[in-house]
Amino acid sequence: MLNLILFGPPGAGKGTQSEKIIAKYKLIHLSTGDLLRNEIQAGSELGLKAKTLMDQGILVPDEVVIGMIDNKLKEHKDAAGFIFDGFPRTVKQSEALDQLLASYDESISVMIALVVDDNELLARLLNRGKTSGRPDDQNESLISKRIQEYNSKTKPVADYYQAQGKFVAIDGIGEIDFIFEEINQAISKVTV
């Protein structure tokens, strides 16, 4: 299996690049943000609880997203691999993911991080907010809160995979196709 984590702050381009990666490598896309928004749309109890936190730009509890990922891994046992997008976002989630994959004799192949500075992120997310309809893209203070959550809780996840020798950083500013090419090169190094 090719199991890759696409890592980076909100607005780094993870969604855009995920689509291209999935088309090329036929991976199952697991975006915890999308899964949570599906729950909200379905009006589930989990969705209602998550919405309160998401609307404030705060991370939902680890157990909630770990449970969702566990279910999805079970659902797709025959997949060619997975692309994790927006997950793991804490070291606890990373440890849980490693354990879940190990129970299938699998592991993370590589973490690819898209690097974009905070000013560019803010500009991108405010722009995305004009069309995304996402409540958490609508104002500067909420976006800043999400970037702050990323810097305090999520950044250590990069060190976690760096320690395993699985971390690759790519400049996330530039042409979409050029960035995708860099991602392909990083993937080719773990698939030979």
Q: Is 124 a catalytic residue?
A: no
Per CB under 6 A, residues contacting ligand AMP are 10, 32-33, 36, 53-54, 57-60, 65, 86-87, 89, 93, 136, 146
Q: Is 37 a catalytic residue?
A: no
Q: Is 89 a catalytic residue?
A: yes
Q: Using N-to-C axis directions, what is the helix angle for 32-42 and 45-54, rounded to 10°?
A: 120
Contact 59, 53 (CB under 8 A): yes
Shortest Cβ distance from residue 189 to ligand AMP (Å)?
A: 26
Catalytic residue of the set 49, 72, 92, 134:
134
Q: Which residue has the tokens 């997975």?
A: 82
Q: Is 134 a catalytic residue?
A: yes
Question: What does each C-alpha distance from 39 to 4, 43, 73, 140, 182 come to in angstroms?
Answer: 24, 6, 18, 25, 34
Shortest Cβ distance from residue 10 to ligand AMP (Å)?
A: 5
Query: In sequence order, what E strands does 61-157 have?
Result: 81-85, 110-115
Catalytic residue of the set 37, 49, 72, 128:
128
Closer residue to ligand AMP (CB): 151 or 191: 151
Instruction: Give the sign of the dihedral formed by CA 169, CA 150, CA 161, CA 20.
Output: negative
Shortest Cβ distance from residue 153 to ligand AMP (Å)?
A: 8
Shortest Cβ distance from residue 37 to ligand AMP (Å)?
A: 7
Contact 114, 34 (CB under 8 A): no
Closer residue to ligand AMP (CB): 43 or 188: 43
Q: Which two tokens stand for residue 176?
A: 């979409």
By beta carbon distance, the residue nearest ligand AMP is 33
Q: Catalytic residues, which ones?
A: 14, 89, 128, 134, 146
